[in-house]
Chain A
Amino acid sequence: MNRKDILALVQDDRVHRDLYLSPALFALEQRHFFANTWNYVGHASQVPAAGDYVAVEIAGRPLLMVRQGDGSIRVLNNRCAHKGTQLVTDACGSVGKFFRCPYHAWTYKLDGAPLAVPLKAGYEGTRLASCESGQGMGALKNVAVYRDFVFAKLNDGGPDFHAYFGDVLAAIDNLVDRSPVGRLRIEGGVLRNVVHCNWKMYLENINDTVHPMSTHESATAAANALWQGQPADAPKPMAMEQILPFGAGYDFFDRMGGRVYPNGHSMLGVNFSIHSGYAQVPEYEAALREAHGEARATEILQRSPQNSVCFPSLAVKGSPQAIRVIRPLAADRTLVEAWSFRVEGAPDLLFERSMTYNRLVFSPMSVVAHDDVHLFESIQQGLRGSSNEWVSLHRDFDPAELEGGTREVNGTNELLMRNQFRAWATFMTQDMEG
């Protein structure tokens, strides 16, 4: 498949089913698309001390996010330069002052540089020092830490970090600035889901405001029935406060508004969202005004976008403070992780909200997610059938949008998805011949 073949799969208002189904295309995505884009690696709070590491896989490559002796963070290949053993096989931990391969005891500094090998004399006069195997684990060159969010890009070409994300970084600011001291900590564990669907299906659904009414009908109907008859001023349990808004109508979702940015990023709910109605916490809000000033504090608190997508691996919720990380495993298998944040300087209530929301909506046991997951898996099967090889993205298509740039539209506009696929085509083919 060459550049031309791939570009033909993404039309202005629809995409070809191969984007979801084809294992060959997935292999090309691993080599090109995921290597050309900036992907979320992890959060700095996961590696507080020198030698702490977190193992991740991006574009099919095993990587380690490692805290250095000088406090900086590097991303290294989790591969011994000798035979290829992974230097660590736990999901996270600490290696202390250096890496030591369990197989033949080759050692590396925390930045991946070679430290020592046994039987050193045996390498004298060989080509080891001058070839790849003598260069250590290899640190990724393109790593950026933005307000403790760590991103990496495997290939060298393409836009640098700030040019790539541009103004969507405001979504991360909105999240981090909810802390009067500007600091978040990953806490409370991670909910991990394996969904038998293509990763793009999950990612586009994050911007799909038209599905809740029909997809989540059973969950919201049950919630409404149970809550019915409560007096209007009855204090809502947190779970009800979080589940009931899923039943909001088409009009609500349309008016919440959406914004697209260059390179596939988006912010949904630029006006308001299903998270806007959470109970206020006066003391905390006062602390935020003290820290950020009246104008900025008001802006943060009044803006609770539904979902902001830092394409293609991260979806952010400013309130509740939660992120989803999308890790493709195969053409038809995706790992979705939901992480909670503790907001430093904010009351425990915010942390409770973060954990409760993730548990209610993104847990493998979530009654909301059950219907999403079922439908994604159903699409993965359904697409194989029929003579229709295309997936429709026509809603509110406007030829003017092809100019690109940052654009604000109605909340049910499928531009937020079309924008993802246009970026997919760009970064998929960026380093392809022809």
Chain B
Amino acid sequence: MMDAVSFVAHEARLLDERRYDEWLALFADDGRYWVPLQGAAQQEGAPHNALADEDRLLLQLRIERLKNPRAHSQHPASRCQHVLQASTVTLDEPERCELRTPFVYIESRGERQLMLAGTCSHRLARVGGAWRIRLKRVDLLDAGAPLPAIQLFP
């Protein structure tokens, strides 16, 4: 089984290589991808909005849309690169694991490049001998600032 730190690197690599179906398969059935609007300052469960707060259904919608040739905003297509700092394991149990990984994220499309910095937190659960994501929380430094379109997955 892949260790948790390698799992986080693998997860980012799947996004960078546009292997979205494989990426979605890393999520547990109740998995959630969350980009809170207040970044790291936002309490879990606080009544505050997010740039994205998606269960598997919505993540799949996103991925299916990207496959449609009439996803107009993908002409030209967006590409991304996650540059990860070493992950810190913040909870280490046989069935659960939590990690914190600061990152720089670059999303590029046509002549425009967008760079975001932040820290992501993974809450992993062991499911059938492999790690699965129960929560990927992405705390952007500038989540509340005026932002251009972010089309992929920081």
* B-binding residues in A (CB < 8 A): 187-196, 215, 217-219, 221-223, 225-226, 237, 239-240, 243, 335, 340, 348, 351, 355, 358-359, 363-365, 367, 369-371, 373-375
Contacts and interface: CB of A to CB of B under 8 A. Distances in A.
- Describe A's contact surface by its main secondary structure: helix
B52 interface: yes
B14 interface: no
Interface stretch (B21-29, B54-62, B83-91, B98-106): B54-62
A189 B38 CA distance: 8
Given A225-B64, A370-B73, 8 more contacts: A189-B48, A191-B49, A192-B145, A195-B148, A221-B64, A239-B57, A370-B151, A371-B71
A192 B61 contact: no
A218 B72 contact: yes
Contacts of A239: 57-58
A188 B48 contact: yes
A222 B51 contact: no
Contact of A189 (B35, B49, B72, B147): B49
Given A215-B72, A225-B64, A359 B148 contact: no
B149 A373 contact: yes
B51 A364 contact: yes
A228 to B, nearest CB: 12
Nearest to A342: B47
Nearest to A339: B49
B68 interface: yes
A189 B64 contact: no
Interface of B: 35, 37-38, 47-53, 57-58, 60-62, 64-65, 68, 70-73, 144-151
Contacts of B64: 221-222, 225-226
B70 A217 contact: yes
A355 B58 CA distance: 16
Nearest to A196: B148
Given A218-B72, A365-B35, A192 B65 contact: no
Which 7 A-B pairs give the minimum distances between C-beta atoms? A374-B73, A222-B64, A218-B71, A218-B68, A364-B147, A192-B146, A370-B73
A316 B68 CA distance: 31
A335 B64 CA distance: 29
B73 A358 contact: no
Nearest to A237: B57
Contacts of A191: 37, 49, 51
